Structure 1
Amino acid sequence: MDRGTVGSASRGRLHVEIRHHGASAVVTVTGELDHHTADLLRESLEGCLDDGYARLVVDCSRLEFMDSTGLNVLLGARLRAEAEGGGVHLAGMQPVVARVFEITGAEAVFTVHDSVDTALSD
């Protein structure tokens, strides 16, 4: 059950949109995720977890850049989501973003999907 967009926010070069789909929160991230914009994603993910959505699907299909600060935000959300019985699923990563996960080995600790649809059907 998709309830449409339930929240969105922008900070500089980053836009975050949240919608609910059943027991999952789908967080679409657009733009550049770095030291200057990471707090926006952190606050959005924490808000979803605070609202009881322990299964987070992060739509990375419009994410153009991510540095280690962004990776740390996702790792922190993953730890909290798993502690609450859920997890963080990454969907639609562009090659430039996927490379950050490959280089750091972080791809091994996330469930990665080709698209949001496949993440939601998992």
Structure 2
Amino acid sequence: MDRGTVGSASRGRLHVEIRHHGASAVVTVSGELDHHTADLLRESLEGCVDDGYARLVVDCSPLEFMDSTGLNVLLGARLKAEAAGGGVHLAGMQPVVARVFEITGAEAVFTVHDSVDAALAG
């Protein structure tokens, strides 16, 4: 059941919006995820897990840029979510963001979906 947007925050060039869909938290990330903005996403993802939403769907479709700091935030969230019995699912990655995962090999440790709907159905 989608309860609408339950949280929204911006920091500089990054905007994070959270909504709940059943047992999942859908975290939409837009803008630029780098060392200046990464704490906002880290706090949002950790807050979801702390609130009992261990299955995180990260909507990357509006994300325009991500560096290694952003990747580290997602890897940390993955560990926390898995420790709570869930996981991190990435959805709708643009080529510029997907490239970070390809270069580092990190795509092997995440479940990647074409869309949020596909991630929620999986």
State the TM-score bracket (shorter-chain normalisation): over 0.9
Q: Could you say what secondary structure the match of 1:61 adopts?
A: coil
Structure 1 stretches of at least 4 aligned residues deviating more than 6 Å after TM superposition = none
Cα deviation, residue 17, structure 1: 0.1
1:26 and 1:38 mapped to 2: Cα distance? 17
Cα deviation, residue 96, structure 1: 0.1
Structure 2 unmatched runs, 5+ = none
Cα deviation, residue 18, structure 1: 0.1
Cα deviation, residue 7, structure 1: 0.3
1:18 and 1:120 mapped to 2: Cα distance? 14
2:22 and 2:96 mapped to 1: Cα distance? 30
TM-score (norm 1): 1.00
1:6 and 1:121 mapped to 2: Cα distance? 21
Number of paired residues? 122
1:87 and 1:18 mapped to 2: Cα distance? 16
- CA distances 1:103-122 after superposition (whole Å, capped 9, x unpaired): 00000000000000000000
Q: Could you say what secondary structure the match of 1:72 adopts?
A: helix
1:51 and 1:80 mapped to 2: Cα distance? 12
Computed over aligned residues only, the root mean square deviation of the Cα atoms, in angstroms, reads 0.2
Cα deviation, residue 66, structure 1: 0.2
Structure 1 unmatched runs, 5+ = none
1:51 and 1:88 mapped to 2: Cα distance? 15
- CA distances 1:69-115 after superposition (whole Å, capped 9, x unpaired): 00000000000101111000000000000000000000000000000
- CA distances 1:40-81 after superposition (whole Å, capped 9, x unpaired): 000000110010000000000000000000000000000010
Overall identity of the aligned pairs, in %? 93
Q: Which residue of 2 aligns with 1:78?
A: 78
1:54 and 1:70 mapped to 2: Cα distance? 19
Q: Which residue of 1 aligns with 2:111?
A: 111
Q: Which residue of 2 aligns with 1:25?
A: 25
TM-score (norm 2): 1.00
Aligned counterparts, 1:38-77, within 5 A: 38-77=38-77
